[in-house]
Structure 1
Amino acid sequence: MPKIHALMVAAGVGSRFGADVPKQYLYIAGKTILQHAVCCLNHPSITDLTLVIASDDKVAQTLVFDFDKPIHFAIGGAERFLSVKSGVEHIKACGAKDDDWVLIHDAARPCLPMADLSRLIEMAGDLSDDLDKSAGAILAMPVADTLKFAKDGVVCHTVGREHLYQAQTPQMFRLKSLLQMLQFVCQNDVFITDEASGFEHLGQSVAVVMGSRMNIKLTYHDDLPLFERLLG
């Protein structure tokens, strides 16, 4: 049976957050954001975890994680997709097979519900029976707010919400397909903000698994009080 290898991207500096330290190393309820995020992936179906960290990171390997499978470390790149590529290459070098799954999660999402993760893993099992169905699957939420297209500070029109989803992580893809997509992105200088968008450039479909509002991303300093309530 294909294995599931978790990969967590924790190499960012959090420039939009505006803290003195990368946001994944802020403490809430006695643990760092990174420790909370790793704990969210402590699922029985996951084989191991690769943490992708910055080259000058002196913190990650000193932390104690609530994760009962092996944890490996890889060095990230200047952009998120380069960090993911480094992590996937490390997973392959450690003996993972081409048809194994790679489950990619952001360290800045420390509130991922176990039920959401289980639904995503179940979808991967369904896709295993039909490899032509989709390249992989992601967690996502339907857009709830009214969307406005604005230019120069003036509303031009309202954007219809039908069929619009807000992408989350984790996102799951086959190791071989994921590496091929990342190599395509690098060779063709394609800008992507998540792995699903890379597969979109290749014309491959990606399945949507319903996420939840709990799985929010820590982006700005003003978000911190909410995370303190959720994690505390």
Structure 2
Amino acid sequence: MQSLESFVIVVAAGKGLRMGSKTKKQYLCLEGIPILSRTIMVFDRCDQLNEIVLVVPQDEMAYCKKNIIEPFGFVKKIHLVGGGKKRQDSVLNGLKKVRDKKNHEKKTMVLIHDGVRPFVDQSIIKECINSAVEYGACIPAVKITDTVKQVFGELFVEKTLNRENLYKAQTPQVFKMELIWDAFEHAEATCFSGTDDASLMEHFGKKVFVVKGSKMNIKITTPEDLALGKYLLSIV
């Protein structure tokens, strides 16, 4: 049986404009520790992961090494990679690093995770990996319970959507390396831009399995999210 190795690509190359802060959202602190460092900590503790690929703005790699990585004594090997113009470009840069580092005698799984989701728990990570090994692609998602309106023009409701089969996608999104690589190549060849990595897999014609996510697994992008993150730290 072919042995398994897993890499996580932590994507933190965005500008973070919605936070409205001079400091980029991934570098803001929760109880004295940068959000990005907290995210890395979760994966550094995961025994199913081999190495971490951290994608950050090209001109901030030295800053990240000094302020995000070195102060916290991470155990796993961390590869710093420069990001691209869009998130999709940044993930592709991370995939190229995984392709260079992977052991060709092993089956390689790739996790892709938002750098500003520091509250993902180990059980979700492990379930996503195990499901992706079986199905090829897996994401965590949370079923929508609110009523969802489709709005147009000057903020008038066009219609109410049936929420029965609607879910909010989260990360980590996990894939067999060869599948997600082919999906990215197909997206480039067809000029397709997706809002998450699973959408590239869907565009490629492959099914993506869904496991139950967590409402705690928030993405910190606004001041309200930051306040919620501070609250979550106080109760976990």
Q: Same fold (TM over 0.5)?
A: yes
Compare the two structures and name the one with the higher helix fraction.
Answer: 2
Farther-moved stretch of structure 1 (90-99 vs 209-218): 90-99
Amino acid corresponding to residue 52 of structure 1 in structure 2:
V
Q: 1:66 to 1:194 in 2, by over 3 A?
A: farther
Aligned-partner Cα distance in 2 for 1:153–1:95: 49
- What's the Cα RMSD here? 1.5
| Structure 1: stretches of 5+ with no match in the other structure | 128-133
C-alpha distance after superposition, 1:74-117 (max 9, x if no partner) = 11100001111000101111234383000111001011122221
Aligned counterparts, 1:189-208, within 5 A: 189-208=191-210
1:35·1:66 contact (CA, 8 Å) conserved in 2?
Answer: no
Instruction: Give the CA deviation at 1:149.
Output: 1.4
Farther-moved stretch of structure 1 (44-53 vs 156-165): 156-165
Aligned-partner Cα distance in 2 for 1:180–1:7: 17
**1:169 pairs with one of 168, 171, 174:** 171
1:168·1:211 contact (CA, 8 Å) conserved in 2?
Answer: yes
C-alpha distance after superposition, 1:40-73 (max 9, x if no partner) = 2120010010101111104210133463211111
Instruction: Give the CA deviation at 1:223.
Output: 1.7
The equivalent residue for 2:96 is: 89
The equivalent residue for 1:47 is: 50
The equivalent residue for 2:64 is: 60
Provide the identity percentage.
34
2:187·2:204 contact (CA, 8 Å) conserved in 1?
Answer: no
The equivalent residue for 1:9 is: 11
The equivalent residue for 2:146 is: 145
The equivalent residue for 2:124 is: 116
Aligned-partner Cα distance in 2 for 1:179–1:117: 20
Between the two proteins, the alignment pairs up a number of residues equal to 225
Scaled by the length of structure 1, what TM-score is found? Answer: 0.92
Aligned-partner Cα distance in 1 for 2:58–2:122: 30
2:109·2:129 contact (CA, 8 Å) conserved in 1?
Answer: no
2:102·2:108 contact (CA, 8 Å) conserved in 1?
Answer: no
The equivalent residue for 2:86 is: 79
Aligned-partner Cα distance in 2 for 1:176–1:116: 22
1:9·1:83 contact (CA, 8 Å) conserved in 2?
Answer: yes
C-alpha distance after superposition, 1:121-180 (max 9, x if no partner) = 23234x1xxxxxx43101111111110112221122211111111000000111111111
Q: Which runs of 4+ in 1 moved over 3 A?
A: 95-99
Aligned-partner Cα distance in 1 for 2:107–2:100: 14
